[in-house]
């Protein structure tokens, strides 16, 4: 099922997600819904809080943009190691049409549970996968990519998002397909 993606500055996006006690049928259904919602919005990643579910669950699929990748579903992910630094132009499905440069770790290692509740480790991820992992884990902690920007840039984007939300409420813009040229995470 495709869910509505919350648009920043929705206060629910600032809440911290709760750990998932067990991977069960409901969590697997949430994972399926997150993938379906992400694909419908043409995104690279999506975290449960972006659809109003405060559970530590995220999905990523960079395969169309980064060769050799497969879809990833993570439950209770933890960033256990990072090194290096890169600047990446990030977009976000909760901040549609916007993209800004954000400093991130160049390489990351993440531990989590997979969709079947088995432990998984993604070691030394780099490129788009590393950025997406950091971006989506940030969502689980109530942080958006705009929180990494200057106050001025963040305020300009906030005003545009408020205008977008108002236009959508009035039926002037479609809720999908306005993510901009950059892949939205």
Catalytic residue numbers read 136
Distance, in Å, from the CA atom of 111 to the CA atom of 118, rounded to the nearest integer, reads 11
76: left (phi over 0), alpha (psi -120 to 50) or beta: left
Neighbour tally for 26: CB within 10 Å: 11
Cβ-Cβ contacts under 8 Å for 121 (sequence gap 6 or more): 80, 109, 110, 111
**Alpha helices (H) along the chain:** 25-40, 127-140, 151-169
Report which of 22, 87, 23, 77 is spatially closest to residue 47, judged by C-alpha positions: 77
Across 133-168, b (16+ Cβ under 10 Å) vs e yields bbbbbbbbebbbbbebbeeeebeebeeebeebbeee
Report which of 119, 109, 100 is spatially closest to residue 160, judged by C-alpha positions: 100
């Amino acid at each position: 099922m495709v869910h509505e993606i919350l648009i920043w500055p929705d206060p629910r996006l600032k809440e911290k997600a709760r750990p998932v006690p067990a991977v069960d049928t409901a969590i697997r259904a949430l994972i399926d819904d997150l993938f379906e919602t992400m694909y419908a919005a043409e995104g690279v990643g999506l975290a449960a809080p972006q659809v109003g579910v405060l559970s530590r669950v995220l999905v990523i699929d960079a395969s169309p943009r980064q060769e050799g990748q497969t879809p990833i579903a993570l439950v209770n992910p933890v960033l256990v190691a990072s090194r290096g630094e890169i600047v990446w132009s990030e977009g976000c499905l909760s901040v549609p049409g916007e993209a800004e440069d954000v400093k991130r770790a160049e390489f990351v290692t993440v531990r989590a549970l997979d969709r079947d509740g088995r432990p998984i480790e993604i070691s030394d991820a780099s490129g788009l996968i590393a950025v997406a992992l950091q971006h989506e884990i940030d969502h689980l902690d109530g942080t958006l990519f705009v929180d990494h920007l200057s106050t001025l840039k963040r305020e300009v984007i906030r005003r545009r998002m408020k205008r977008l939300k108002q236009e959508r409420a009035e039926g002037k813009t479609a809720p999908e397909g306005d993510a901009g040229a950059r892949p939205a995470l």
